[in-house]
Structure 1
């Protein structure tokens, strides 16, 4: 459901609510492929250092970081937003390693992808856009994660991970949320 006022999607409104609830809008924030609505809100916050990045020039951004080789020093970011990114990255384990490297101790990464039940499904022999759409749900996706599978991949790198399952409740209508929805929060040990 698109907000007619700000143009945000439900997932962006829930993320904004979660970031505020978790007090995660502080310090240095790295945001991959930000939505316009969140970019505008975070960009004007003078109390943070906001690093909006988009590798393929499809979103508003000030930087063009490669998630598998982030051109920033170790332990720089307090918060990282990685919504609907990892399912596009062939070398996701390398990306996860980089996210760990640039995250400060006790920092948090908010991660969302399309999820399915069971195991992670990936097959690198599938390369045509049509076959990727059939197998992974979108022409530019290279896998479909399960929440548990992604949690295990993140933990293998050293992250502590919680899976937040948002179920439908009375606040969905008030905030314009769509449920159910799953978000992973990975913190650095």
Structure 2
């Protein structure tokens, strides 16, 4: 990977190019104001990248799909990725989030303020599971994507059929059913059907298998967790 180096102990974060002696556990919201620390270390202590963040950056480097003139929309931007992507793409790099400060646009993903065909590439990771009207959000992502463009979409997936009940509002019950207190659904493999209905041509891929890196490197980058991602084309 670009910027990779031999770290004497621990591992290496390819997002921020840092040697990592200890990956940090995540404090997850499990109830109303109640947090629980996960047992395994997943976060980079420098840039706070997750496995999925490192998967994405390694994909970007492997595929070499981002060029200087690529117009990119980054939904719910991770700080480590933004630090790499903004200098690379300049004014063509746009960040958007409903609540975060220090983004280019505070937006509702179901009602984007951008014109049709505004972006060549969209990165949307772990966002749709927070949105009740995810079908509208998917349609909006499709609308603002350029013909021939690609959206890299990641959500937590468990099982085949998506579980969604809008009457479930308690953090504890959402944690039990959907894995996080802030989630409003747990996606199944049938998310591909929903993305297709929005207009996308969908390709399912498993990370880190797609990256074709061996087990030792997966441990070194702390990216061995297998996760499905969706390459969505217009």
Tell me the distance in 1 between the aligned counterparts of 2:90 and 2:208: 32
Is 2:228 the partner of 1:176?
Answer: no
Q: Report Cα offsets for 1:119-162 as digits up to 9, x if no partner.
A: 0110111112222122211111111111x311110111221111
Candidates 200, 220, 224, aligned match of 1:159? 200
Tell me the distance in 1 between the aligned counterparts of 2:208 and 2:119: 30
TM norm structure 2: 0.74
Match of 1:121 in 2: 163
Tell me the distance in 2 between the aligned counterparts of 1:60 and 1:129: 27
Q: Per-residue deviation at 1:5?
A: 4.2
Match of 1:138 in 2: 180
Match of 2:49 in 1: 8
Contact kept, 8 Å, 1:110 with 1:186, in 2: the verdict is yes
Match of 1:187 in 2: 233
Greater Rg over alpha carbons, structure? 2
Runs of 4+ in 1 over 6 A off after TM superposition: none
Name the count of aligned residue pairs: 186
Corresponding residue SS for 1:99: helix
Tell me the distance in 2 between the aligned counterparts of 1:46 and 1:131: 41
> Considering only aligned residues, what root-mean-square deviation do their CA atoms show, in Å?
1.7
Match of 1:36 in 2: 79
Tell me the distance in 1 between the aligned counterparts of 2:149 and 2:161: 27
Is 2:111 the partner of 1:72?
Answer: no
Contact kept, 8 Å, 1:167 with 1:181, in 2: the verdict is yes
Unaligned 5+ runs, structure 2: 1-41
Corresponding residue SS for 1:52: strand
Q: Which stretch of structure 1 is more off in the superposition, 174-183 or 76-85?
A: 174-183
TM norm structure 1: 0.90
Q: Report Cα offsets for 1:32-83 as digits up to 9, x if no partner.
A: 11111001111122466111111112x6422112110110000010110110
Match of 2:10 in 1: none
Tell me the distance in 2 between the aligned counterparts of 1:186 and 1:6: 27
